[in-house]
Amino acid sequence: MNHSLSIENDIDGDTLHEECGVFGILGHPDAATLTALGLHALQHRGQEAAGIVSFDGQRFHSERRMGLVGDHYTDPATLARLPGDRSIGHVRYSTTGETILRNVQPLFAELEVGGIAIAHNGNFTNGLTMRRQLIADGAICQSTSDTEVVLHLIARSKQASSSDRFIDAIRQMEGGYSMLAMTRTKLIAARDPIGIRPLVMGELDGKPIFCSETCALDIIGAKYIRDVENGEVIICEIQPDGSITIDARKPEVSQPERLCLFEYVYFARPDSVVGGRNVYAARKNMGINLAKEAPIAADLVVPVPDGGTPAAIGYAQASGIPFELGIIRNHYVGRTFIEPTQQIRAFGVKLKHSANRAIIEGKRVVLVDDSIVRGTTSVKIVQMIRDAGASEVHIRVASPMIFHPDFYGIDTPDADKLLANQYNSLKAMCDFIGADSLEFLSIDGLYRAVGGEPRDNAQPQFTDHYFTGDYPTRLLDRESTSNVRKLSMLASNG
């Protein structure tokens, strides 16, 4: 599965999407430029919209745009409208709220304690419930983003300082999230109590940085300091003398961390380090374990670009079957002419991928993919490989079957749309896809690839509900809305 492609190219809705990525820096003269570069490195986490808010010592400045970071924030005129030595930024793919400009983060509000901008990655599982309570109490909501709920809670908090108000607000929220807030003097970072969504702390020229992945530190030459711990709130504040103090506050009752496994399977960039583990190495280990669990006699191991590549390398090394680029990805698929018409759907996969006939023809091929969601893309890729002359096509998937939807920031189809729930046997799935065989990595194989040990069923080491149905938090909105997530909002063209 290739999540680096724009959503316009996801013509079948057969990919998973991360909600967003965040980046923030305090006290650096090139704050907005560095934030734009950091967001560029995090572009894979959201391609619908991007926003940056800066503060120049007197005023807050906001630039929010639909589309990619590079479409807007490479313009010197845009960056010139973001002066100041502190800023936070956000790239977005929506799981809650429409794709309209008023939902683009960071969101900003002027409160009794001063201006505050906030941005978050993930999803609140009680966001709708809290929104209804706020509206019933007279609140006016301008967006459909559940981030706005936090702004209202900050405004209503009885705590004295902006830091304490922020902590008071997020302690009322449930779900999986990493969040940044910026006030006139502070950059605040927070992570959900069990650490479902990642957040790291870095440093550049002695100035603190927070971002979703280490790849955003690498792009600007910043130093990785540590991960923000689950449930932790870190408050960085510029003092009158220009120095920066750092106050790390941890919850009174700590819980074991349970990072989202899909960060390793799919979302994080392979050059990132998530939870102290190199993503590329984890994905390669998935392929190694897959080769041990599901061997097959074949001539070639071929990755489904780009997500399947590290696992395919691991599969090839463990199996002794040669690795080849049997599918070539087109990195320059146009964004404007691809409309989801039936005619385009018929050949859509070829816009993204082309079979390397000279390598494939007459060969028994093992296709390695990182995951299968609905299976419609797999059908087309298998057919493409057969059309290129492959004698056999065997699919090996470097993660378990996906049975359950996500409510922590991943945009998953409804359960009945997932391939694993549409067929009652592996053979039936294989027949639908049109492959000669189909096998998935086991949950223990995935756990060993990432953490080195099998799953502890009594106390799972990671968040893995999409595979197992074991949701790590309450799903309050789901329970109270009879599975309906609808918000009324004036239609907007901007």
CA distance linking residue 70 with residue 9, whole number of Å: 17
Instruction: Answer for the pair 178, 45: CB distance below 8 angstroms, yes or no.
Output: no
The helix or strand, by DSSP H or E, that contains position 209, with its residue range, turns out to be strand 207-211
CA distance linking residue 39 with residue 23, whole number of Å: 7
Instruction: Answer for the pair 143, 102: CB distance below 8 angstroms, yes or no.
Output: yes
CA distance linking residue 352 with residue 5, whole number of Å: 9
Active site residues: 20
- Nearest of 115, 106, 124, 146 to residue 23 by alpha carbon: 106
Q: For residue 138, report the phi and psi dihedrals to the nearest 5 degrees.
A: 105, 0
Instruction: Answer for the pair 410, 401: CB distance below 8 angstroms, yes or no.
Output: no
CA distances from 435 to 301, 310, 367 (A): 15, 22, 10
Distance of CA 226 to the CA centre of its chain: 20
Instruction: Answer for the pair 102, 142: CB distance below 8 angstroms, yes or no.
Output: yes
CA distance linking residue 177 with residue 108, whole number of Å: 18
- Nearest of 372, 382, 379, 377 to residue 432 by alpha carbon: 379
Say how many C-beta atoms besides its own lie within 10 A of residue 492's C-beta. Answer: 11
Instruction: Answer for the pair 191, 226: CB distance below 8 angstroms, yes or no.
Output: no
Name 120's bridge partners: 179
